[in-house]
Amino acid sequence: MGMGRREVYAQVMVKLRLCFCLSDTTDMALDRKNAALRFPPLMGAEFRAELAGREAPALVVMAWWCVLLHRVEERWWLKGRVRPLLLKIEELVMPEYRV
């Protein structure tokens, strides 16, 4: 039996906060990269289903993940990719969810 939607988001937000905490408490680029890349495997199947359905709350969570990615954007494989991802998320999210 799956979790309720509220519980899915509560759990994914705890995991995202953990990744931010890891990123915020280090001076090493490698640790910031690890914090950013740690989040996707932690998301869980229920959240991935929300994301696949382009649910606005899931997209907003991914926009916050872009903040972590931006912190390590100097990596050659990420350079120039975070902003287009964030712009795509913004395009998919309804205006009432934007700040």
**How confident is the model over 20-67, as pLDDT tens digits?**
999 999 988 889 999 999 999 999 999 999 999 999 999 999 999 999
Rounded-to-integer distance, Cα 89 and Cα 94, Å: 10
**Sign for the pseudo-dihedral over CA of 82, 88, 91, 97:** negative
Q: Are 8 and 46 in contact (CB under 8 A)?
A: yes
Residue 99 confidence (pLDDT) = 67
Rounded-to-integer distance, Cα 61 and Cα 47, Å: 10
Q: Is a pLDDT exceeding 70 seen at residue 91? A: yes
Residue 78 confidence (pLDDT) = 87
Return the half-sphere exposure (C-beta side, CA atoms, 13 A cut-off) of residue 68. Answer: 28
Range of the domain at 81: 5-97
How many structural domains is the chain composed of? 1
Q: Is a pLDDT exceeding 90 seen at residue 2? A: no
pTM for the whole structure: 0.88
The string of DSSP codes covering 27-57 is --HHHHHHHHHHHHHHS-HHHHHHHHTT-HH
80: tokens are: 């120039």
